[in-house]
Amino acid sequence: MATDLGRIAIDRMLKLLGVEAPPPYEQTHRSWVLWGAIQHAWWEPAVTPYVDPIWTLLLRTLAVEGFSASRAQSVVLSAPFAPPTLACLVQSADSPDRLEMATNLEVHRENVEWVSRVLAVAARVQAAEARMFSELKGLGWVGLRPGADINASTPPGLLLEPSEVFLGGLGFEPVSKAWPETEVMECIGVLRLRTGADAVRPSPGMTATLILHSARRPQGILDVNIRATHPLLGRGLSLTLTTSVVSGPLNAIVTNSIEVGSKAVGDALGGWSSQPGVLKYTGFYPDVFYRKGLLLRLLLEYARRA
């Protein structure tokens, strides 16, 4: 019988976070509270053509309750608000009146330690962003209720050294320079060969813009920035896929639900949003996430979404 790497990875994540998932819990399910945010995670065998077994890890954090998909709620959810960093906003599969932050990751025997650390970062960021979401003005006016306890204590240093709060104490190796320029250009070359993408503005070392298209018409514009910065996570890789699909926040939520649903394939470390009025998929990956081969996998995932 194969070792249950899903259980191992999630239990390691909880140990890194320093939280406990008190019993009783389901055999493949863990629930806990982090910084006032209610979180839960579980694991499922992934369908894969490879010999080695793969598990999908699913992390969720409650954002708001009382969701009814009304027009008034759509207006509030359209308020200027940065989309989740390492997650997407979805309806809860168990309680459709709840909106959750969602992250999916695949784990196998070669990446257990790395996935545990990345999932711990995602849990911390989801907890912080769920609190931010709960503080949106006008929630109560349209029947929405905060999902996180905004009065709960937050870790010291959050305002002074946010990247240390979210990335510290997890065993990441220090990096002086991630996402090497030569590797970036090689990955872009592979993407162009596999998808027929056109490089509009290649700029070694900084950014590249590619048009992703099918045989019929352009499907989206992918912006790659390996020197981006994030207010919580510091320096890292930013990927943004902008489509021509006109969309509101409710359409983005539905699309996200498909992205991380029961038939989901691959990782979901980002999400669809509708700002400014078109469907867009964004993700930010701090330098400490870097692994050889990760960039190509990410680029091909974004091309698949297009």
Q: Residue 209: how many CB atoms within 10 A of its CB?
A: 17
Q: What is the pLDDT of residue 115?
A: 96
Tell me what percent of the residues of the chain surpass a pLDDT of 90. 43
Determine contact, residues 56/46, Cβ cutoff 8 Å.
yes
Determine contact, residues 155/165, Cβ cutoff 8 Å.
yes
Determine contact, residues 205/215, Cβ cutoff 8 Å.
no
pLDDT band at residue 202 under the 50/70/90 scheme? low
pLDDT band at residue 30 under the 50/70/90 scheme? very high
Residue 169: left (phi > 0), alpha (psi -120 to 50), or beta? left
What kind of architecture, by CATH, is found in domain 181-248+263-305?
2-Layer Sandwich (3.30)
Q: What is the pLDDT of residue 2?
A: 66
196 pLDDT exceeds 80?
Answer: no
As a whole number of angstroms, the distance between CA 25 and CA 22 comes to: 7
Q: Is the CATH number of domain 5-167 3.30.1460.10? A: yes
Q: Which residues of 138-147 are buried (b: 16+ CB within 10 A; e: fewer)?
A: ebeebbbebb
pLDDT band at residue 215 under the 50/70/90 scheme? low
206 pLDDT exceeds 70?
Answer: no
Average pLDDT on 233-257 reads: 89
Of 20-29, 62-71, 152-161, 240-249, the range with the lowest mean pLDDT is: 20-29
Q: pTM for this one?
A: 0.92
Task: Using alpha carbons, list the distances in angstroms from residue 92 to 14, 99, 142, 200, 254.
Answer: 22, 6, 19, 39, 11
Q: Where in the chain is CATH 3.30.1460.10?
A: 5-167
Model pLDDT for residues 115-161, shown as the tens digit of each residue: 999 999 999 999 999 998 888 878 889 999 999 998 888 887 777 78
